[in-house]
Amino acid sequence: MFLETGGFSSGVVGYWRRRLPDWRLAQKPWLAAVPLGVIGALLASQAPSNALKFIYAIVMFAVAGVLHLESTVLGARFDTG
């Protein structure tokens, strides 16, 4: 987790120095993510750990499915070979 935080923050600093972030675009997810993150943190302390692990596993399988579909569908669409 420490390495991920360091890598992410160095990327943010690099983008910030180059003035690349579109702050108006970033504001939309922030408006949802910050309150939902606080609510999630409060609820997580009340939820059984097995339920949290199960939800996390379902989300990871969903992300894997989306990535797989994108790689097969978009990969076939943009394949020049």
pLDDT of residue 80 exceeding 60:
no
pLDDT band at 79 (very low <50, low <70, confident <90, very high): low
Q: What is the chain's length?
A: 81
CB–CB of 52/44 below 8 Å?
A: yes
CB–CB of 1/8 below 8 Å?
A: no
Beta-carbon contacts of 15 under 8 Å, excluding residues fewer than 6 positions away, are: 21
pLDDT of residue 81 exceeding 70:
no
Q: Rounded to two decimals, what is the model's pTM? A: 0.52
pLDDT by residue (tens digit) across 49-78? 999 899 999 999 999 999 999 888 776 565
Q: Domain-by-domain residue ranges, the chain?
A: 24-81
